[in-house]
Amino acid sequence: KQEVTQIPAALSVPEGENLVLNCSFTDSAIYNLQWFRQDPGKGLTSLLLIQSSQREQTSGRLNASLDKSSGRSTLYIAASQPGDSATYLCAVRDGGATNKLIFGTGTLLAVQP
Amino acid sequence: GAGVSQSPSNKVTEKGKDVELRCDPISGHTALYWYRQSLGQGLEFLIYFQGNSAPDKSGLPSDRFSAERTGGSVSTLTIQRTQQEDSAVYLCASSLGTGGKLFFGSGTQLSVL
């Protein structure tokens, strides 16, 4: 059974710092991996999608990497801003027939001005 | 519409009553998912629809939960004889095909008193 873990559970950094969020999964037979952010009381916003054949994806100040063989992904945020404060979730799509996304429990990020 | 729309945004009900939650996916998206997010918990997969295929109901927690997707578009999640443990945010998401990015609605906050 696929399990997704995110470390740390919470992180507080001063504005301007670069930071890395970690995601690990137990079954490397994934179809793809997505990073989301969730603001309080809101739904999820997709940030980056990495296919199983890819190593990384970039969007603006965000860079996500994928090492499928070791079951790990990282989300790198450069030059953090207070507006980046949110919960960040990673989710893996199983490679089997179900196609469902299995979510981690998230990292709560606070960027202090 | 431009995004995934869910209604109602909030629902308060009494224990034992039935509730219906509605999801309007992005036009043209063939895949539709329901997830549940309890306070302080990760996202729990409930059910997945893809085109005209039989839905994946493997995440439904009990036979009190059911979902339909009419005409390949709008979906309704029904909870019969609600219990207090059903209180959660119910999130709907859609994607273009099975492997694409997921786009989430803002969710329905269900409170069972």
Is the minimum CB–CB distance between B45 and chain A shorter than 8 Å?
yes
Instruction: Give Cβ neighbours of residue A59 (< 8 Å, ≥ 6 apart).
Output: A47, A48
Tokens (6 digits) for A55: 């190593």
Predicted local confidence at residue A111, as pLDDT: 97
A46 and B107 within 8 Å at the Cβ level: the answer is: no
Q: Which helix (H) or strand (E) holds A32?
A: strand A30-38
- For B15, counting Cβ atoms within 10 Å of its Cβ (0-12 exposed, 13-18 middle, 19+ buried), the class is exposed
Type of residue at B95: S
- Region B3-29: what's the mean pLDDT? 96
Distance in angstroms (rounded) separating the CA atoms of residues B49 and B29: 11
Does residue B1 carry a pLDDT above 60?
no
- Contact flag B99-A32 (C-beta cutoff 8 Å): yes
B42 and A89 within 8 Å at the Cβ level: the answer is yes
What DSSP string describes A47-99? EEEEETT-SEEEETTEEEEEEGGGTEEEEEE-S--GGG-EEEEEEEEESSSS-
CA distance B38 to chain A (A): 11
**3-class DSSP state for residue B93?**
strand
Q: Using alpha carbons, list the distances in angstroms from residue B30 to A60, A63, A74, A87, B33.
A: 29, 28, 29, 28, 10
Q: For the segment A52-103, what is each residue's pLDDT rounded down to a tens digit?
A: 999 999 999 999 999 999 999 999 999 999 999 999 999 999 876 566 789 9
Average pLDDT over residues B3-26: 96
* B59–A100 CB contact, under 8 Å: yes
Cβ–Cβ contact B93 with A under 8 A: yes
B101 touches chain A (CB under 8 A): yes
Q: What pLDDT sits at residue A106? A: 94
The pLDDT of residue B71 is: 81
pLDDT of residue A96: 66
Decide if B45 and A99 are in contact by the 8 Å CB cutoff: no
Which residues of chain A lie closer than 8 angstroms to B91, CB-CB?
43-44
Q: Which residue has the higher pLDDT, B68 or B1?
A: B68
CB spacing of B101 vs A43 below 8 angstroms: no
- Round the average pLDDT of chain B to a whole number and report it: 92
| % of chain A at pLDDT higher than 90 | 82
Tell me, yes or no, if B96 comes closer than 8 A to chain A by beta carbon.
no
User: What is the C-alpha to C-alpha distance for residues B112 and B18, in angstroms, rounded to an integer?
Assistant: 10
pLDDT for B2 equals 78
B5 lies within 8 A of chain A by CB: no
> Are residues B72 and B3 in contact, defined by beta-carbon separation less than 8 angstroms?
no
- In sign, the C-alpha dihedral spanning B91, A104, A101, A78 is positive
